Amino acid sequence: MAETFIALGGNLGDRVAMLNTALEHLSEIVSISSRSEFYETAPKYVTDQPAFLNMAVFGSTLLDPEPLLDGLKSIELALGRVAGQRFGPRPIDLDILFYGSERIETARLVVPHPRLQERRFVLQPLADIAPDFRHPVSGLTVTEMLSVLPDEDDVRRF
């Protein structure tokens, strides 16, 4: 069994229902042992879209990293995600943040997630469940990564 952290988010439709449905599907491939609160966040890269609802979970899986990614993509498709504008609106988004302390870089997958340290909407929920978890590359804890982000990012508990 491998330990993993997964980020969940979306900004279309009933966001709470979508995250809860995604959690149900996710529990079929990841044994979820903790989950964060929901956080509402302003869009970061493409700003002309609705606010996102984000969260993070920690759990263990029997799947190797790429099959786990395949499982996440299948859940997204089952819940209505279609290819669209990068960083644009979407009903659901599932990302592998960490897979144990492994460093993975393939054509399809980079773990730890390459942009998590710049995203309050990822780090704030992650801090709910793993404030002292150390990034396997930088060595910084989630709390330390969060503390250096600018306060301008709009993230609030939902």
Q: Residue 99 half-sphere exposure, CB side, CA atoms within 13 Å? A: 22
Q: Which residues, other chains included, contact 58 with Cβ-Cβ below 8 Å and sequence gap of 6+?
A: 3, 4, 5, 32, 33, 34, 35, 129, 130
- By annotation, the residues acting in catalysis are 81, 90, 93, 95
Average pLDDT over residues 63-81: 95
Angle, CA of 92, 82 and 17, to the nearest 5° = 30
Mean pLDDT value of segment 148-153: 78
pLDDT at 25: 98
Tell which residue, 9, 2, 4, 3, has the closest CA to residue 119: 9
pLDDT score at 155: 86
Residue pLDDT, tens place only, 16-68: 999 999 999 999 999 999 999 999 998 878 888 999 999 999 999 999 999 99
153 falls in which pLDDT band (50, 70, 90)? low
Domain limits at 50? 2-157
What CATH number is given to the structural domain containing 95? 3.30.70.560
Distance in angstroms (rounded) separating the CA atoms of residues 106 and 63: 16
**What is the total count of domains within the chain?**
1
Give the per-residue pLDDT at 123. 96
Phi first, then psi, for residue 71 (nearest 5°) are: -65, -40
- Residues 155 and 39: their CA atoms lie apart, in Å, by 6
For 85-131, write each residue's pLDDT tens digit: 776 689 999 999 999 999 999 999 999 999 999 999 999 999 999 99
152 compared with 96, residue with greater pLDDT? 96
Give me the mean pLDDT over the 139-145 stretch. Answer: 97
* Higher-pLDDT residue of 153, 96: 96
Q: How confident is the model at residue 82 (pLDDT cuts 50, 70, 90)?
A: confident
Confidence at residue 10, expressed as pLDDT on a 0 to 100 scale: 95
